[in-house]
Amino acid sequence: MRVETRGRVGRPKKAGSGSAHQVRPALGKRCPVHVVLRVHGDVRDLRKRHMYRALREATLTVARRELNFAEHGAFRIVHVSIQRTHVHLLVEADHKMALSRGMQSFQISAAKHINREYSAKARLPRRRRGAVFPDRFHQEIITSPRQTRHALAYVLNNWRKHREDRSADPRWNVDPFSTGVLFDGWKPHAEDALMWRWRDTYDPLVVYRPRSWLLREGWRRHGLLAFGEVPGPRT
């Protein structure tokens, strides 16, 4: 007997393979989005210089895309935090499709550069071609100033949550594997015209300045961020 099915038909999802393929909620340009991307276990540690270099190239690719494909809906990466097994991003997108296309662009570019850097570092005879991001990205749409501040603290100080700061150079008050050096909301530098000068050998990640009111001004209603602020559980 032939059975008629409705909706999209695809490969069955393996148990334990990540988030279920649920329909993404609607998105307006006034609401930033906190995105989490987890990498394949084979890739191991993203907090290495060659992996940083690969992910920086991906942020550059997305920045160029914003200039070239804005007619399809703007997508901007505003902040990034690279942890050992996952990447946090705070992004702005005009709508749901712009978010999907922007994240696809980032993941494709990041996977290409990560596979290249991984293969070179491991001296593999052939370039790694396996999946880098095996699951769909997790998203949290941000709708209020308080939620925005929580997201900023969670992303930019995530290295303290994972205790990466304990083995870092003590001269770094912010995570060098993040866009913390580009953030102008640190409380200790609230009155400074210039927050700090980073080393000449350090290339920051390529991101846009925020355009949404929540990421630009709204979050400040609940206080600037401290260097030592350790993020609590996510809501």
Closest CA to 203 of 217, 234, 182: 182
> For the packed helices 96-122 and 49-68, what is the interaxial angle rounded to 10 degrees?
150
Query: Average pLDDT for residues 128-154, to the nearest whole number?
Result: 93
Q: Which residue has the higher pLDDT, 147 or 42?
A: 147
Is residue 43's pLDDT more than 60? yes
pLDDT at 190: 77
Lowest mean pLDDT among 47-51, 56-60, 129-133, 193-197: 193-197
Q: Which amino acid is at 117?
A: E
pLDDT at 68: 67
Whole-prediction pTM: 0.84
* Domain edges within the chain: 33-222
Q: What percent of the chain has pLDDT over 70?
A: 85
At the topology level, CATH places domain 33-222 in Alpha-Beta Plaits (3.30.70)
- What is the CB neighbour count within 10 angstroms for residue 115? 19
Query: Average pLDDT for residues 130-150, to the nearest whole number?
Result: 93
- What is the CB neighbour count within 10 angstroms for residue 72? 14
Is residue 176's pLDDT more than 50? yes
